[in-house]
Amino acid sequence: MKMLINVAETVVADALRGMAAAHPELTVDVENRVIVRRDAPVAGQVGLVSGGGSGHEPLHGGFVGPGMLSAACPGEVFTSPVPDQMVRAAAAVDSGAGVLFIVKNYTGDVLNFDMAAELAEDEGIQVAKVLVNDDVAVTDSLYTAGRRGTGATLFVEKIAGAAAQEGQSLERVEAVARQVNESSRSFGVALSACTTPAKGSPTFDLPSGELELGVGIHGEPGRERRAMMTSREIADFSVNAILEDLSPRNPVLVLVNGMGATPLLELYGFNAEVQRVLTERGVAVARTLVGNYVTSLDMAGASVTLCQVDEELLRLWDAPVRTAGLRWGI
């Protein structure tokens, strides 16, 4: 496989050095693998810390900045960061108002963030945790007990980040984050497998002419494989799978997310079909975001995430944000 890398062993460190050079508004500790807002800690603000394996960019490091995360901890590719990274990040962003850990539901992430929370509290840092588990495709997977955390992570980080930016309390920011997670559901589809730098070949076998319905962001198996479907058929299947589990009474935020190798031309066409299904099902759309935000290296495919919002959540979604991967209003 051809990759724009030096050697597999330095992929994450090389990317962090490049990020530091491109974004002087961030403090990027390459050795300790922590990305922090340069102005952190911000007086009176709750610190938001998230992280996970690399390979899902811009998640999470690309979402560090005003209106979103205070810090992110990148692990090796598809591998959880370690507690020391998380404690270091928490200490860097704690202003005395407490720190919220936003954790995708993967076993390694959950265990390490739990341990980090205990260590941080031993150092006098007040910590709360929110688990993101929005994927409706399967209940358990190779990496997960319960539902996987996927596209809703962006909604949680953005909306909770806006609440923190306003100076809301740790208790309130945590409650907002939980509300967003509970109001969100996702479903993903793979058209091809991804390739990790260490392996150098596809991580799973997906024959030509087939697709994986309900794939995970590490290539975990979904609900079933079928012969290739049209964009219209994939949208019908994906949105209906979400609406079997979520019956929104309020308008929804829509994320049509690329897995890393799907062109925007295709993603926007897919969004047209997603919007058609929502209209047919009587679901009002408040805002739509299309692009590559929660990726899986070079996987071709897409995911759909819906989040039911009330006026307050929508206000926080619309609030200004300035990060490498998401930016508006500033």
What is the set of active-site residues?
A: 56, 218
Which distant-in-sequence residues (6+ apart) come within 8 Å of 176 by Cβ?
A: 159, 160, 163, 168, 313, 316
Q: Tokens in use for 84?
A: 């020391």
Q: Within the chain, how many helices (H) and strands (E) appear? A: 8, 14
DSSP secondary structure code for residue 42 in this structure: P
CA distances from 137 to 35, 148, 299 (A): 31, 9, 18
- Beta strand pairing status for 47-54 and 99-104? parallel
Q: Tokens in use for 182?
A: 């509970």
Residue 223: its H or E element: none
Question: How far apart are the C-alpha atoms of 52 and 109, rounded to whole Å?
Answer: 6
DSSP sequence for 184-222: EEEEEEESS--B-TTT-SBSS---TTEEEET--TT----
58-90 burial by CB neighbour count: b if 16+ within 10 A, else e? bbbbbbbbbbbbbbbbbbbbbbbbbbbbbbbbb
Rg over CA atoms, the chain: 19
Rounded to 10 degrees, the C-alpha dihedral 187/192/196/201 comes to 150
